[in-house]
Structure 1
Amino acid sequence: MPDLFPGSRPISRRLGLLGVGSAVAAMVCGCSGAHWLDRLVPHDTYHGPTGVAYGPDPRHLLDVYQPATASVPGGAPVVLFFYGGNWTRGERADYRFVGEALAANGIIAVVADYRLSPQVRYDGLLADCALALQWTLLHAERLGGDPARVLVMGHSAGAYNAAMLALDPRWLAPLGLAPSRLAGWIGLAGPYDFLPIGDPEVQVAFGWPQTPANSQPLFYAGTTAPRTLLLAGRSDSVVNTQRNTLGLATKLRAAGTAVDVRIFDHIGHVTTIAALARPLDWLAPVLQTVVAFVHGEPLLTEN
């Protein structure tokens, strides 16, 4: 089951595998590797407000990463990012490396907290994610972004959140929105088809065994969705890549959705998100692929 515990290129190579191993091990064991990454990720490539409220709950806060470069005529693309953590843990500050990497590549990034289980179940946290998307759409232009080029992205449990906003209209409808407002969505190592549920934490978050079939993104893959990018590591031992990433891609394509899929060798569940950090982007071309997709550029050759 999905379970993330997180919490310049030549320079990164000189750090050596020991440093990388320490950071990844810290993520895996439950001690956040974010502090290690934070020392390596630049602070001068972006600006923007932090701790912005998008709703009434104390967890309804987000950080914005605007590129430090000159504004783009017509507005830059905007990506709203949701982190993983088994829907039970996570803090937006631990994902500064994601916001920095996107901002350094001309993309406005929004990283949002949301309520977690057991405070809420999956329907409550998805309502939060929808509220964060509403805020992002409303403020995109003021931030220097293009409201017509807003995407959602997530890793692990966060990829599930992004998928449900993009595929299931129930979450955006109460806000007067629809998945068609999205310019696309990106899932990294996401769980899209995970019934029955064996993980005790996930059982609580999804009310197992009364979990409905329509709690699964795969349930909604029969209709055309926003353009889609699905990424995963071939060595992912946490979320089954064949069943989830490739299974969802197959059904979306059959329904006529434009889907790009990349399965990277030599990385696993945690390193799929770690490779987004610019000091670690040599692990796999995750960042390059995401940036190309967001900007509408040709992607790397599919493996």
Structure 2
Amino acid sequence: MPLFRLLALPAILLIALLLLVATEYAVARPSRRTADLAYVAATDPAFSPERHRLDVYAPRVKSATARPVVIFIHGGSWTSGNKNFYSFIGRRLARQGIVAVIINYRLAPQAQVPAMADDCARATVWVTQHIAEYGGDPRQLFVMGHSAGGGLAALLATDNRLFARWGLGQNPVRGAILDDPAGLDMYDYLKKMQYSGDEKYLIPFGKDPAVWKAMSPMYYATAASPPFLMFIGGETYPSISYSSEKFRQRLRQLGREPQFTVLPGKKHVPMVLQLYWQNNIIYRELLKMVATQG
């Protein structure tokens, strides 16, 4: 099934997310949200008052030591999505002792994927500089994303140039959690153009194959890449299953075999909705990774 079918998801996903958010405050009070922090200066020519914002969710209970940090990047086919729909993820992570950061980034058609990746990198740089103010440890920084956000999270974990551009000599990402990720190898996907409707992806990715490759995490993974957790829906889109397995094989060749879990019966949207429940397998394995890499 073609990736373009993902473009039909935001409306379905939005309804489900709104229902979750509606009951959120009643069930997740042990966290403190600091909302709408700007991670790009308002004086920057590229500054977007809406999209260059992030929310921090910290546990209310104080800790004698700094806590691990997880940055979550939303999906939406690179054309939609908003951090405000994912407060349940921030609160679930905070409830389990994590300082969570949920970010916005610019979207197509106003921006293309290189700008989105740059936004995610700038948000991460902001976190390294400021998260200690919220009880987080910038030395224990992990990235997580669903769908298009999973592809962007993988790019942050593998493409060190994204951080060198903003003055970080070392990639700060200690591990990546990919939840049904899209876009791991858009170079291969867009070269084939084998499905009707694939031209829609030329809006966020453009028409230059060099850009498709530059925005594909597949080509940046090395033996020095951080650990990956990968969760794939057993009934997700074949394009996601295929590219995820291909990425897994690439990491295996490099001696960086990821933890790869297929969740039977799960489709693409439920792969993120399941994060509403604190005892979800993704949280359980995430906490293990954080403890191991801490």
Return the TM-score normalized by structure 2: 0.85
Contact 1:272 1:286 in 2 (8 A): no
2:86 — aligned with what?
Answer: 95
Counterpart Cα distance in 2 of 1:238 and 1:176: 38
Counterpart AA for 1:40: T
C-alpha distance in 2 between matches for 1:105 and 1:182:
20
> Please, which moves more after superposition, 85-94 or 252-261?
252-261
Q: Give distance in 1, aligned partners of 2:283 and 2:265.
A: 15
| Structure 2 residue 200 is matched with structure 1 residue 215 | no
Instruction: For 2:205 and 2:104, locate their aligned partners in 1 and report how far apart those are by CA, in whole Å.
Output: 19
Distance 1:161 1:205, change over 3 A: same
* One-letter amino acid of the counterpart of residue 131, structure 2: A
Question: How far apart are the structure 1 equivalents of 2:83 and 2:8?
Answer: 13
- 1:80 and 2:57 aligned: no
Question: Could you say what secondary structure the match of 1:196 adopts?
Answer: helix
**In structure 2, C-alpha distance between the alignment counterparts of 1:107 and 1:89, rounded to whole Å:** 26
Kindly tell me: are residues 4 and 183 of structure 1, through their superposed partners in 2, closer, same or farther at Cα, counting changes over 3 Å? farther
Corresponding residue of 2:144:
153
TM-score (norm 1): 0.83
More displaced, 127-136 or 50-59? 50-59
Change (3 A) 1:138 1:212: same
Partner in structure 2 of residue 288 of structure 1: 284
1:150-189 aligned within 5 A: 150-177=141-168, 180-189=171-180
Q: Is the 8 A contact 2:163 2:171 kept in 1?
A: no
Tell me if structure 1 keeps the 8 A contact 2:28–2:95: no
Identity %: 30
TM-superposed CA distance for 1:222, in Å, is 4.0
Q: Structure 1: how far apart are the matches of 2:125 and 2:15?
A: 29
Equivalent position of 2:121 in the other structure: 130
Matched to 2:240, the amino acid is: N
Bigger helix fraction: 2
1:225 corresponds to which residue? 225
Contact 1:179-1:225 at 8 Å conserved across structures: no
**2:248–2:257: 8 Å Cα contact kept in structure 1?**
no
Letter of the 1:62 counterpart = L
Matched, 1:35 2:28: no
Query: After superposition, where does 1:231-242 map in structure 2 within 5 Å?
Result: 231-237=231-237, 239-241=239-241
In terms of mean alpha carbon deviation, does 147-156 or 214-223 score higher?
Answer: 214-223
Q: How many pairs were matched up?
A: 272
* Residue 178 to residue 232, structure 1, CA distance change in 2 (3 Å): farther
Matched position secondary structure for 2:79: coil
TM-fit CA distance, 1:239: 4.0
Cα gap change, 1:91/1:175 in structure 2, threshold over 3 Å: closer, same or farther?
same
Once the 2 structures are TM-superposed, how far is the Cα of residue 187 of structure 1 from its aligned partner?
A: 0.9
Contact 2:158–2:222, Cα closer than 8 Å, also in 1: no
Does residue 54 in structure 1 map to residue 39 in structure 2?
Answer: yes
Partner Cα distance (1:148, 1:65) in 2: 18
- Give the gaps of 5 or more residues in structure 1: 8-24, 298-303
Find the counterpart in structure 2 of residue 196 from structure 1.
189
Q: Tell me the distance in 2 between the aligned counterparts of 1:4 and 1:149.
A: 34
* Root mean square deviation of aligned Cα: 2.2
Please say if residues 190 and 239 of structure 1, whose CA atoms lie closer than 8 Å, have aligned partners that are also in contact: no
Task: Tell me, in whole angstroms, the C-alpha distance in 2 between the residues paired with 1:74 and 1:190.
Answer: 32
Mapping 1:4-23, distance limit 5 Å:
none
Indicate the residue corresponding to 2:30 in structure 1.
45
Residue 91 and residue 187 in structure 1: after superposition, are their counterparts in 2 closer, same or farther (change >3 A)?
A: same
Q: 1:141 Cα shift?
A: 1.4
1:192-249 deviation digits (Å, cap 9, x = unpaired): 12333353332111113544423211112244201111111111026431x2222212
Q: How far off is 1:57 after superposition?
A: 1.9
The alpha-carbon distance between structure 1 residues 32 and 178, as it changes in their structure 2 partners (threshold 3 A), is farther
CA distance in 1 between partners of 2:258 and 2:169 (Å): 19
Give, in whole Å, the separation in 1 of the partners of 2:273 and 2:88. 9
